C-alpha cells in the first residue's frame, strides 16, 4: 500500500518526532515501540484478518497502528494527547480504513463506539501498548463492559502481566488474577526489554493475550458480592482467610459462625487467600451470600 519506511524503525520514529517538535509527556506514560519483531508478535497474537476489527488505545505516532492497518479490516485508535493527532493523520494517510478518535478511553461510551466503528466486523480485538500508570483501570473497564471482544492483546508492565496470568499458590496470585481470569483466559506472549522503546521505561514489559470468555468459568449467585469476598480475602496477604473475612464481614463474636460457614464451603480457616482457586472462591462467596451477608 505504501513504500514508505515503517514508522517503527528507530530512524523514522526519531525523524517524525523531530520534524513535529514532539516532546514526551511523562504524565501520559509515553514510550514508543521501535522493534519490528515485537510488533509482529503483538499483531499475530490478536489473530486478525480482513473480516475483523481492532481497537487501539494510545497509538502514539502510529507504529502499531500501521501494522494493525495491514492486518485488520477496520482499525480505530483512541488517543488522549491532542498533539499526536496531526502526526497520526499524516502517518495513517494511506490507510482509509483507520479512524483516529481524540479522547480518554476511560470516559468514552465503549458500547456506542463499538456499534459505530465495528458494525460490519465479524469480531473485534483490543490491541495496544498501554500506558503503565493506567493499565489496570483500562483492562478492567474493557472486561467488565460486556463488549463483543475476541481478544485483548496488550503490552503492559511485566509484573502486572505475571499477576494477571498467575495460578493459585504463588506470590503473584491475587484479586487481579481472579478478576482477569473470571472474564478471560490469559496467556503471556513474550517479555520485552526496555531497550526497544523511545524513551526507555524503567521496568521490563510483557505482551499478554486475554482470550475473552463468552461466559464466566464459574456461576455465582451475586457477581458483585463474589468480587467483594475476593477483595476482602486478600486485604492483608499474610493473614489467614478467616481473619481477613472476619474483619470485613463479622463484628464482635462472629468467629464460630464464620468457621462454620468456611467448613460448609470446604475451606480450612487457616488457609491464605492465595491458595484458593477461582472455583473455591465461587463456592465460598455463594455460601456467605446464602447466609445473608451483604456488601
Q: Is the pLDDT of residue 1 over 60?
A: no
Question: Which phi and psi (to 5°) does residue 114 adopt?
Answer: -65, -40
Instruction: Look up residue 187 and give its three cell numbers.
Output: 496467556
The per-residue pLDDT for range 172-183, each reduced to its tens digit, is 999 999 999 999
Report the largest interatomic distance among the alpha carbons of the chain, rounded to a whole angstrom: 74
Q: Which three cell numbers stand for residue 264?
A: 460448609
Instruction: Indicate the pLDDT class of residue 295, thresholds 50, 70 and 90.
Output: low
Q: Which residues contact 16 (CB under 8 A, 6 or more apart)?
A: 7, 22, 61, 87, 91
* Mean pLDDT, the chain, integer: 93
| Helix (H) / strand (E) containing 128 | strand 123-129
What tens digit of pLDDT does each residue of 204-257 get?
A: 999 999 999 999 999 999 999 999 999 999 999 899 999 999 988 887 667 889
Residue 2 pLDDT exceeds 60: no
What is the Cα–Cα distance from 42 to 135, expressed in whole angstroms? 17
Q: Cell 468457621 appears where? A: 259
Higher pLDDT, 70 or 295: 70
Stretch 81-95: mean pLDDT, rounded? 94
Helix axes 63-71, 36-46, angle to 10 degrees: 40
The pLDDT assigned to 294 comes to 72
Q: Supply the pLDDT for residue 253.
A: 63
- In this predicted model, what pLDDT tens digit does every residue of 39-51 receive, in sequence order? 999 999 999 999 9
- For the segment(s) 10-212, the CATH number from 3.40.50.150, 2.40.37.10, 3.50.50.60, 3.40.50.620 is 3.40.50.150
**pLDDT tens digits, one per residue of 283-293:** 999 999 999 98
Return the pLDDT at 23.
Answer: 85
Residues making up the annotated binding site are: 31, 33, 58, 79, 104, 129
Average pLDDT over residues 96-113: 96
Distance CA 129, CA 135 (A): 10
Indicate the domain borders of the chain. Answer: 10-212, 223-290
Residue ranges for the binding site for S-adenosyl-L-methionine?
31, 33, 58, 79, 104, 129
Pairing between strand 149-157 and 205-212?
antiparallel
User: What is the pTM assigned to this prediction?
Assistant: 0.93
The whole-number average pLDDT for the span 24-38 is 85
Identify the pLDDT of residue 3: 54
Among 66, 67, 74, smallest CA distance to 121 is for: 74
Whether 186 has a pLDDT exceeding 50, the answer reads yes
The residues near 61 (Cβ < 8 Å, ≥ 6 apart) are: 7, 13, 16, 17, 22, 32, 84, 87, 88, 91
**Between 294 and 191, where is the model more confident?**
191
Domains 10-212 and 223-290 share a fold: no
CB distance 111 to 17 below 8 Å: no
SS in 3 state form for the chain? CCCCCCCCCHHHHHHHHHHCCCCCCHHHCCCEECCHHHHHHHHHHHCCCCCEEEEEECCCCCHHHHHHHHHCCEEEEEECCHHHHHHHHHHCCCCCCEEEEECCCCCCCHHHHHHHHCCCCCEEEEEEECCHHHHHHHHHHHHHCCCCEEEEEEEEEHHHHHHHHCCCCCCCCCHHHHHHHHHEEEEEEEEECHHHEECCCCCCEEEEEEEECCCCCCCCCCHHHHHHHHHHHCCCCCCCHHHHHHHHHCCCCCHHHHHHHHHHHCCCCCCCHHHCCHHHHHHHHHHHHHCCCCC
- Contacts of residues 245-253 at CB distance under 8 Å and 24 or more positions apart, as own/partner, are 245/288, 249/288, 249/293
What CATH code is assigned to 223-290? 1.10.8.100
Q: pLDDT per residue over 105-147, tens digit each? A: 999 999 999 999 999 999 999 999 998 889 999 999 999 999 9
What pLDDT is recorded for position 85?
96
- Kindly indicate the confidence band of residue 25, based on its pLDDT and cuts at 50, 70 and 90: confident
Amino acid at each position: 500500500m505504501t513504500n514508505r519506511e515503517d514508522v517503527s524503525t528507530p530512524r523514522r520514529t526519531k525523524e517524525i518526532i523531530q520534524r513535529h517538535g514532539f516532546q514526551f509527556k511523562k504524565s501520559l506514560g509515553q514510550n514508543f515501540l521501535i522493534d519490528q519483531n515485537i510488533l509482529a508478535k503483538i499483531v499475530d497474537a490478536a489473530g486478525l484478518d480482513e473480516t475483523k476489527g481492532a481497537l487501539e488505545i494510545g497509538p502514539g505516532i502510529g507504529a502499531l497502528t500501521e501494522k494493525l492497518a495491514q492486518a485488520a479490516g477496520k482499525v480505530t485508535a483512541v488517543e488522549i494527547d491532542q498533539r499526536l493527532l496531526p502526526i497520526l493523520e499524516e502517518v495513517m494517510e494511506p490507510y482509509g480504513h483507520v479512524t483516529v478518535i481524540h479522547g480518554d478511553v476511560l470516559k468514552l461510551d465503549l458500547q456506542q463506539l463499538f456499534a459505530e466503528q465495528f458494525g460490519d466486523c465479524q469480531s473485534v480485538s483490543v490491541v495496544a501498548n498501554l500506558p503503565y500508570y493506567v493499565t489496570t483501570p483500562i483492562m478492567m473497564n474493557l472486561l467488565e463492559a460486556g463488549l463483543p471482544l475476541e481478544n485483548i492483546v496488550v503490552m503492559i508492565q511485566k509484573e502486572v502481566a505475571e499477576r494477571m496470568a498467575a495460578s493459585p499458590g504463588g506470590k503473584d496470585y491475587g484479586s487481579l488474577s481472579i478478576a482477569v481470569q473470571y472474564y478471560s483466559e490469559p496467556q503471556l506472549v513474550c517479555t520485552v526489554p526496555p531497550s526497544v522503546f523511545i524513551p526507555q521505561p524503567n521496568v521490563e514489559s510483557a505482551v499478554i493475550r486475554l482470550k475473552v470468555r463468552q461466559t464466566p468459568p464459574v456461576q455465582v449467585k451475586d457477581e458483585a458480592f463474589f468480587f467483594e469476598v475476593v477483595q476482602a480475602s486478600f486485604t492483608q496477604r499474610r493473614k489467614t482467610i478467616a481473619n481477613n473475612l472476619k474483619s470485613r464481614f463479622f463484628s464482635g463474636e462472629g468467629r464460630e459462625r464464620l468457621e462454620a460457614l468456611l467448613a460448609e464451603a470446604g475451606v480450612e480457616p487457616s488457609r491464605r487467600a492465595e491458595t484458593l482457586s477461582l472455583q473455591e472462591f465461587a463456592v465460598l462467596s455463594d455460601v456467605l451470600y446464602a447466609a445473608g451477608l451483604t456488601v
